[in-house]
Amino acid sequence: MKNLLICFSCFFLVFSCKGEEIKQNENSLTIQQDSAIIFLTDFYSDYIIEGIKDSPNEKALNSLKEKYLSKKFLSRLNNQEPDYDPVINAQDFMEQWLETLSVEPLVKGKFYKVCLPYNDFEDNHNLCMKVKLEKIKDGYLIDDIEEFTTKEETLKNGINTSEFFIKDLEFHTYKYNGDYIENISIDSLTDINFKNKFFTFLKSKDFEKEQYEQVYFIKLLFVNIQQKNDFRLYNILNDLLLDDDLSRFVEDYELSLFELFLYKPEFFIKGAFIYKKNDLVDYINRVLPSAYFSNEEDFYMSDFNTTVSLLLIEKNIVDNFTIPKLKKVISQQTEITVYFSPSSSTEWKADTKYYYNILSLYTYHLSLNKEEQEYYNKYFNPLFSKYIFKAIYAISDPDGYTNLRKEQNSKSEIIQQIKSGENIEILDNDGSWWLVKTKNGNQGYVYYDRIKAE
């Protein structure tokens, strides 16, 4: 093996400090940055050294991934490797990468900029990645790799026009202060002075005179939320809804908003949690169900009955959604067939309708951290409560109580003990361990023979 010179450059944040405690914090941060830079340099160096061998060992490369990458990131890589990391994604490794590899900190030791030369069809340039680290007990793991860019995030960049779920959205049509609205930066819209002036501009436009700047901006926000996870967009949309003059334009496109919520419920809940603004979620929770969901009145003159709690949406409504990924997720839920007897609502003919039970998507399958879950439980849980068909059963155990468990086995963690005779709601009765919800809101599993119908 050749002796290879590994060089990296870094800069350190310099703080103006007062007092010994602040100096200690500064020293601690510098030490963390040093160790993180060494960690990243070791990973890329080891990976490149293995890759430049005459016959790279795929098993050895995978072993390095398992050593340096978090399980979550590794799982994502197994499905799709990032195009913007030429090392992990490499087919041909370059020895010169080792000679000019550089690592420098970006934000308080959590994000790092990794750069190396890259030759792309005779275009020689430095390619840089933004690497996110996860701090663990004895070091670090790489938790994400993104493209590093110095571009200011606007309402246009980072979105794919071919994937718009709103089709009649055309760029280069409406301007504000001499530039197209889609070129406004999201940072600008978070500045209260800029936002107020921009909202005043939108309110000055007369929809009746075919001045559609308000509608264009709302549609633009929607497609940004569809394709990005920038929670500042939630805050902007929430403020639009609170504006007496602009809210009506949001309401005019409420079906698009509702579809967006069904596609990304966590985005809206997390946004409400971050900004402590519930207005947008409250509005959706209040108005969406009557537009999309079925309630008991819809099943008059039918054979409908249930042994499990349900939130039902008719299949033909889902078929008309314009977000393909949302349609796919809902179509994978349990399908329910309901037969209707002849009545005035069916023009005195027998009828059959098809529904999906989507309760799990908007209750116990939400991906929220502990604080977000607590906020959700306090303000929103359960969403669409008036449209949930609840299957109420009771606990029956000769011991006088049964255990509510975290997982579907008798050795799993006990969440709480439920007394015999206490009512529970059945969320899922597939298999021997049923997913239930207790009267105080806890969700977990109970063995089926400890449950009886009321």
Please tell me the predicted confidence (pLDDT) of residue 31.
Answer: 52
pLDDT (0 to 100) of residue 2: 38
The band of 11, judged by pLDDT with boundaries at 50, 70 and 90, is: very low
pLDDT for residue 236: 97
Which amino acid, 3?
N
- Give the residue with greater pLDDT, 351 vs 17: 351
How much is the average pLDDT of 433-446? Answer: 89
d(CA 451, CA 418): 11
List Cα–Cα distances, 91 to 33, 55, 56, 83, in angstroms. Answer: 31, 12, 10, 12
Q: Average pLDDT of 253-281?
A: 96
Q: What pLDDT score was predicted for residue 368? A: 87
Query: What is the model's pLDDT at position 33?
Result: 64
Q: Which pLDDT band, with edges at 50, 70 and 90, does 20 fall under?
A: very low
Q: What is the pLDDT of residue 285?
A: 95
Q: Is 433 helix (H, G, I), strand (E, B) or coil?
A: strand
Q: What is the mean pLDDT of residues 349-372?
A: 88
Per-residue pLDDT, averaged over 231-242, amounts to 96
Second CATH level (architecture) for the domain 391-453: Roll (2.30)
pLDDT score for 119: 52
Higher pLDDT, 3 or 292: 292
In the chain, % of residues over pLDDT 90: 43
Among 5-14, 97-106, 258-267, the range of highest mean pLDDT: 258-267
pLDDT, residue 34, reads: 74
| Residue 288 near residue 387, CB atoms below 8 Å | no
Cis, bond preceding 324 (omega within 30 deg of 0): no
State the pTM of this model: 0.62
Q: Which of 71-75, 241-245, 372-376 has the lowest mean pLDDT?
A: 71-75
Same fold, 20-147 and 391-453: no
Of the CATH numbers 3.30.56.10, 3.10.450.50, 3.40.50.2300, 3.40.50.970, which one belongs to the domain with range 20-147?
A: 3.10.450.50
Sorted by where each begins, the domain ranges of the chain are: 20-147, 161-290, 291-364, 391-453
The average confidence (pLDDT) of the chain is 83
> Residue 122's pLDDT band (boundaries 50, 70, 90)?
very low
Region 53-64: mean pLDDT is 83
> What φ, ψ does residue 127 adopt, rounded to 5°?
-110, 130
pLDDT value at residue 248: 96
- For residue 139, pLDDT beyond 70: yes
The answer to whether the beta carbons of residues 427 and 435 sit under 8 Å apart is yes
For residue 182, give Cα distances in angstroms to 36, 171, 179, 220, 228: 38, 7, 8, 7, 15
Output the pLDDT for position 53: 82
Average pLDDT over residues 57-71: 88
Q: Supply angle C-alpha 275, 264, 82, rounded to 5.
A: 100
